[in-house]
Amino acid sequence: MNRNKILLHTCCAPCLVYVNEKLNEMNVDFDSYFYNPNIHPKKEHERRLLTLRSYTSRFNIPLIEDDEFLQYLWENGFQCKDCYNIRLEKTARYAKNNGYKGFSTTLLVSIYQNHQLIIDIAESVADKYGIEFFYHDFREGYRIGQNKAKEYGLYRQKYCGCINSYNSSKYKDKIKWD
């Protein structure tokens, strides 16, 4: 049933907007897969998930929630490479175990992420689980996606997700969790 689809790790709704449009244009069918234990605090984690539920429901995108909140990650010197790895490894494993033809990630749309590191880690977990990593440089549409997310009224976060990125955000004083 899933063999003609890819499993798309989805970090948040705003990043999904352009990727969704591009995959549709490329005739690539996908399920959205939410696994982002990096997001801190729990309130922010919930907010991003609720926004994704709302967006996927509006555009009839199947959403798989396979998440957990792992605050301990941030007490152990977690870095971006670990953050990419934990999310992409679980995505690749889930895709393999559930018969998808491949996997990808919305992290590839961001102009702020370490694009090459994401590719390297995705290729490594693809090899490990024997499944295809679907690559496209979605960064071409980063601004388009963000502008549409704004038009749609989606919640757009002001930091990447972890406690370190929150602490270093220039918008830190404007971030409200209540």
For residue 78, the minimal CB distance to ligand SF4 (Å) is 6
For residue 130, the minimal CB distance to ligand SF4 (Å) is 26
Going by C-alpha positions, the residue among 135, 123, 169 that lies closest to residue 28 is: 135
What tokens appear for 38 in the block? Answer: 């990096």
User: How many degrees, rounded to 5, is the angle at CA 82 between CA 76 and CA 88?
Assistant: 140
Separation CA 80–CA 61 (nearest Å): 28
Task: List, in sequence order, every beta strand (DSSP E) within 10-165.
Answer: 29-34, 63-65, 102-105, 132-133
For residue 106, the minimal CB distance to ligand SF4 (Å) is 12
Cβ proximity to ligand SF4: between 61 and 162 the closer is: 162
Cβ proximity to ligand SF4: between 70 and 98 the closer is: 70
Separation CA 85–CA 156 (nearest Å): 24
List interacting residues with ligand SF4 (CB under 6 A). Answer: 38, 80, 83, 160-162, 164-165
For residue 38, the minimal CB distance to ligand SF4 (Å) is 4
Cβ proximity to ligand SF4: between 5 and 104 the closer is: 104
Cβ proximity to ligand SF4: between 101 and 139 the closer is: 139
